[in-house]
Amino acid sequence: MLDSGVSPTVRRIGPYRFFFYASDLGEPPHIHVERDRAVVKFWLAPVNLERSWGFSASELRKVEELVEANATEFVEAWHEFFRR
């Protein structure tokens, strides 16, 4: 379930929070992922790393796999939120 805050959480998987910012409207669909102080941004169509801070290369691959596995849900949540 998508929360309706300034940075709506789309999903939580283990220690990761998948979200976007309400101010992201002018950009193509993407998802931010955070764990502790590490943050990464992936474009969703197709899934492609935009930038990352604080994740090791191996953890980044794991997060990318999670994004790929849930990309359809993330794109749907994006369109649902920004359609308002």
| Secondary structure in 3-state letters for the chain | CCCCCCCCEEEEECCEEEECCHHHHHCCCEEEEEECCEEEEEEECCEEEEEEECCCHHHHHHHHHHHHHHHHHHHHHHHHHHCC
pLDDT given for residue 84 in this prediction: 65
pLDDT (0 to 100) of residue 6: 82
> With contact defined as beta carbons under 8 Å apart, do 69 and 55 qualify?
no
pLDDT of amino acid 4: 52
- Per-residue pLDDT of the chain (84 residues), as tens digits, is 455 558 899 999 999 999 999 999 899 999 999 999 999 999 999 999 999 999 999 999 999 999 999 999 999 999 999 986
Confidence (pTM): 0.90
Delimit the domains of the chain by residue range.
9-82
Cα distance between residue 10 and residue 60, in whole Å: 19
